Chains A and B, each alone.
Chain A
C-alpha cells in the first residue's frame, strides 16, 4: 500500500517537471475562463433573456467538449509510453509492486492532476451563483453544481482511463495522444453527428446514450443524476483500467 502511495506521489509531481502540465493548465484555464465570461454576459444581460442553469452554458456546449477531449490525452500520453521508450518501465516492473498497483497508482496520479485542473473553476462559482456573502445564500440553486462536478469527475475518470490504456499499448507519446483522442471523440462527436435523426429511432437513442455533451446538457448541469450515464462512465473507466492491467501482464506470455 505504501509503495503505491510512493508511486502516486512521484507520478503526480512528475507532471510538474515537464512543461506539458503548465501548457495544458494554461489552455484549460483559457477555455473555462472564456466560457465563464460568456455565461456572465448571459446572466447580466438586461431584458427577459436569462439563464436558468449557468453551468449548462459552460458545460452543455459541444465546443467545450471538443476542447476538453483534446486536452485530456495530453495528460495521459506520457504515463506508460514515455516509460516504455526510455526503458524506465523495466525498473518499475522489477520493483516489488504488483501490476495492478502500478496501474492504480498511475491512474490516481493523473486523476489527481485532472482534479487539480478543475480547482480554479471553484473560484467562478460564488460569482456564477450570485452568492451573497452576508446571508451565505446562493441566488441560484447550488445543487446542480454538485451534480455537475460529480459528472465531471466520472467523465474525467472515463477519458483518463481510456488514455491510460492506450498509453500502455504504444511506445510513442504522440501516437498515444492521437489514438486516445480518436477514441474519446466517439463520445463527443456523437452530439454533432446527424442532428436530423428521428427522435424515436434506435440510432437516436444509441447516439444520445453515448454522447457526453448531451448527458451534461440535459442531466448533470440541471441537477439530475442519470444512472445510465454514471454507469456508462464508471464501467468504461473500470474496463479500461482492467485492460491496462492485462496489457501490462501480457508481457508474461509474449
Chain B
C-alpha cells in the first residue's frame, strides 16, 4: 500500500477544509484526484507531501507515518504544487542541480538523473535559460522535472496541466501515462478527459469529504465522469463557502 489515509481532518481555525477523509492508493496506480474548487484537494496533497500537518487522523506513505517520520517520507515523494513556485533568477540546470542536492542525489548519479529528467520533460533546449524568462508551460515542466529528479516512488502532482496550451497538455498527459508505469502517481486536475485517459482510479472530494472512490473501467467516458461530478457538487445545494484568511 503506497498511501494510506485514515480519517484525515484538517481545520484552519474553525473552518474544516478536510473532514474524515480516508482512502488508499496501491503502489503503481495512477489516481485522479478531483473535486470542486475549495473542496480540500490541495490541502490533502499538502498534508501528504508533509508541508502541512493534519489536525487529526493519520497518513502513511510506504508504511511510514507522515507525522512521525516526515523527512524519510519526503524522500519517497516528488511533489509539484499548483502554483509551481521556482526561483526566477536561477537557470534551469542550476535549479535542478540544487534540488537534486537537497534530495540527496550527488556526483555522477546527479548528472545522469539530470540528463534523464531534462530529456523526459523536454527541457534540453532551455537548460541554460533563466527560469524567470520561461513561459508557463516550461515552468510547469521544470516543476515536474524537479519532482522526478530523485526518482521517487510516489509523485504528487497538483494540477500539472493548469495553464498549458493543448499541445503541451497532450505531451504532459503522455508523460504522466509513461511515468505511471514505474511510479505511483496522485494527480489532481479539472480536466476530466485527462482523468479517463491517464488514470486507473478516481477519487472525488467534495466539501472536505470523499464522495467517490473507485477504479475507472474501460467503458468510463469523460461525460459520465462529468455527470457524476456535477451531481456530487450540486447534491447539497452548493453555497459559496468563504475561504479562510489564513491559508498560505
Please give the residue numbers on chain A whose beta carbons come within 8 Å of chain B beta carbons, in ascending order: 2-3, 5-7, 10, 14, 17-18, 84, 86-88, 90-98, 171, 251-254
Contact = CB atoms under 8 A, between A and B. Distances in A.
A154 to B, nearest CB: 30
A2 B101 contact: yes
> Which of A84, A95, A253 has the most chain B CB atoms inside 10 A of its CB?
A95
Contacts of B246: 254
A97 to B, nearest CB: 6
Interface string B72-86: 101101010101011
B87 A90 contact: no
Contacts of A252: 52-53
Interface stretch (B24-32, B102-110, B188-196, B217-225): B102-110
24 contacts: A3-B103, A6-B101, A7-B101, A10-B98, A14-B87, A14-B89, A18-B89, A84-B248, A87-B81, A90-B46, A90-B51, A91-B79, A91-B99, A92-B102, A93-B50, A94-B50, A94-B51, A96-B72, A96-B104, A97-B102, A171-B248, A251-B53, A252-B52, A252-B53
B50 to A, nearest CB: 6
B18 to A, nearest CB: 15
Contacts of B50: 93-94
B85 A6 contact: no
Most A CB contacts (10 A, CB to CB) among B77, B104, B146 go to B104
Contact of A96 (B46, B75, B106): B75
Contacts of B106: 2
B248 A3 contact: no
B245 interface: no
Contacts of B49: 94
Contact of A17 (B52, B72, B89): B89
A87 B83 contact: yes
B82 to A, nearest CB: 9
Contacts of B53: 251-253
A87 B102 CA distance: 17
Contacts of B71: 96-98
A6 B74 CA distance: 17
The 8 closest A-B pairs by CB, nearest first: A6-B101, A87-B85, A17-B89, A252-B53, A96-B74, A95-B102, A88-B85, A96-B75
Contacts of A91: 79, 81, 85-86, 99, 146
Nearest to A84: B248
Contacts of B46: 90
Interface in B53-103: 53, 71-72, 74-75, 77, 79, 81, 83, 85-87, 89-90, 98-99, 101-103
Given A84-B248, A252-B53, 16 more contacts: A2-B106, A5-B101, A6-B98, A6-B101, A17-B89, A90-B46, A92-B102, A93-B51, A94-B49, A94-B50, A94-B74, A95-B74, A95-B99, A96-B75, A96-B103, A251-B51
Nearest to A252: B53
Contacts of B83: 87
A14 B91 CA distance: 12
A9 B153 CA distance: 28
B102 A6 contact: yes
Nearest to B74: A96
Nearest to A251: B52
Contacts of B52: 251-252
Nearest to B130: A17
Contacts of A253: 53
B29 to A, nearest CB: 21
Contacts of A251: 51-53
Contacts of B79: 91, 94
A254 B51 CA distance: 12
A2 B104 contact: yes
A103 to B, nearest CB: 15
Nearest to B71: A96
B89 A95 contact: no
Contacts of B81: 87, 90-91
A81 to B, nearest CB: 12
A100 B67 CA distance: 17
Contacts of B99: 91, 95
Nearest to A82: B87
Nearest to B102: A95
B102 to A, nearest CB: 4
B74 A88 contact: no
A202 to B, nearest CB: 43
A3 B74 CA distance: 13
A9 to B, nearest CB: 8
Contacts of A171: 248
